[in-house]
Amino acid sequence: MPPISSPPLGAILAVSGVTKSFGALRAVDNVSFAMAPGEILGIAGPNGSGKSTLFNAITRIPFDMDAGIVVFEGRQVQNLPAHRLAALGLARTFQRETVFPSLSAVDNVIVAIEQTKRGGSLRRNVLLAEQALDIVGFPATLHNWRAAALPVFLRKLVMIAGAIALDPKVLLLDEPASSLTPDEIDRLRALIRQLREMGLAILLIEHVLELLTGVSDRLMVLDQGRVIALGEPAQVVRDPQVVEAYLGVAP
């Protein structure tokens, strides 16, 4: 057994026994972990190891898990509908940049804000939306551009701004760095650190290992739907099982 580090005391998010199968394939197999408030927990694993499926199962977007318990702030939430989870403070992004293509950048975020208790008059919502876009470093001159017309990186920022606008306590980021340039990855790293400064706990799936180990407090590795390592990033990347999962050979 790999060393499963004990769940931090007073975990903000604790997941236990999450399982999701597609037909005969166990995409996520009995996954358990917990994260402390303000922690960044990285998730690595080869292609198809079940990382995105884990996010999908936890947030119930777009499907439910087969079995498992999700405790958010001490309360079981695995049966709450997706929008209630979002309202409680569990927000996510997708691997592909997922936005409302015909709406402007700022309208994208306004739609999110209108769902929250913070929402109010349209003017106030515009202000809050602009704040969220500022936080993620979206250029102010492009606020009124249709999302469809924006480059990938900016669409990702709009998506992250929409999630942040919900004022979450835990943010699930699914491969935010995929298809970004090294320069953009640097900006993303700064953004992730800034979000942590703001007090968010972040669950971060990433293939760019160097980004992942750079910002994560702890690192979890999935292989074929199972947790094969969880702990200190520097230790985890040297774990023989992890090396084997990534390189396909025993060390």
Partner 1 sequence: MMSFDTFVAVASGGLALGAIYALMAAGLAAVWTTLGIFNFAHGAFIALGAYIGWQIADAEAAGLGLAAGVVGAFVGLFVIGILFHLALVRPFERRPDIVTACVITTLAGAAICESAINLIWGPRSKQLGQLARGEVDLGVFRLPVSDLVLIAVVGATLGTLGWFLSRTRTGRAMRAVSQNREAAELMGLDVPRLYALAFGLSAAIAGLAGIFVGGLRFMTPTMGTDPLMKALIVVILGGIARFTSPIYAAILVGFVESFSNYYVGLYWTPAVLFAMMIVVLFLKPSGLFGHHQRTL
Residues of the shown chain interacting with ligand ATP in the complex, contacts defined by CB under 6 A: 22, 25, 27, 45, 47-53, 95
Buried b vs exposed e over 29-40: b needs ≥16 C-beta within 10 Å?
A: bebebbbbebbb
Residues 200-239 touching partner 1, rule: CB under 8 A, are: none
SS3 223: strand
For residues 91 and 171, the answer to whether their CB atoms sit within 8 Å is: yes
Half-sphere exposure of 205 (CA within 13 A, CB side): 23
Residue 35 beta carbon to Mg ion: minimum distance, rounded to whole angstroms: 19
Residues 123 and 80: their CA atoms lie apart, in Å, by: 31
Binding flags for Mg ion, 94-113, as an x/- string (CB under 5 A): -x------------------
Residue 56 beta carbon to ligand ATP: minimum distance, rounded to whole angstroms: 7
Residues 53 and 187: their CA atoms lie apart, in Å, by: 27
Residue 111 beta carbon to partner 1: minimum distance, rounded to whole angstroms: 5
Give the residues across from 227 on adjacent strands: 222
Which of Mg ion, ligand ATP, partner 1, none does residue 156 bind (CB under 5 to 8 Å by kind)?
Answer: none
Residues 149 and 186: their CA atoms lie apart, in Å, by: 23
Nearer to Mg ion, 28 or 129 (CB): 28
Residue 224 beta carbon to partner 1: minimum distance, rounded to whole angstroms: 23
- Expressed in percent and rounded to 5, the helix, strand and coil fractions of the chain are 35, 25, 40
Q: Give yes or no for residue 19 binding Mg ion (CB under 5 A).
A: no
Which of ligand ATP, Mg ion, partner 1, none does residue 102 bind (CB under 5 to 8 Å by kind)?
Answer: partner 1
Binding flags for Mg ion, 26-55, as an x/- string (CB under 5 A): -------------------------xx---
Residue 197 beta carbon to partner 1: minimum distance, rounded to whole angstroms: 23
Residue 6 Cα distances to 95, 136, 144, 230, 231, angstroms: 29, 33, 47, 10, 9
Q: Which residues bind partner 1 (CB under 8 A)?
A: 59, 61-63, 81-83, 86-87, 91-94, 98-103, 107-108, 110-112, 114-116, 119, 159, 162-163, 165-166
Which chain residues interact with Mg ion by CB under 5 A?
51-52, 95
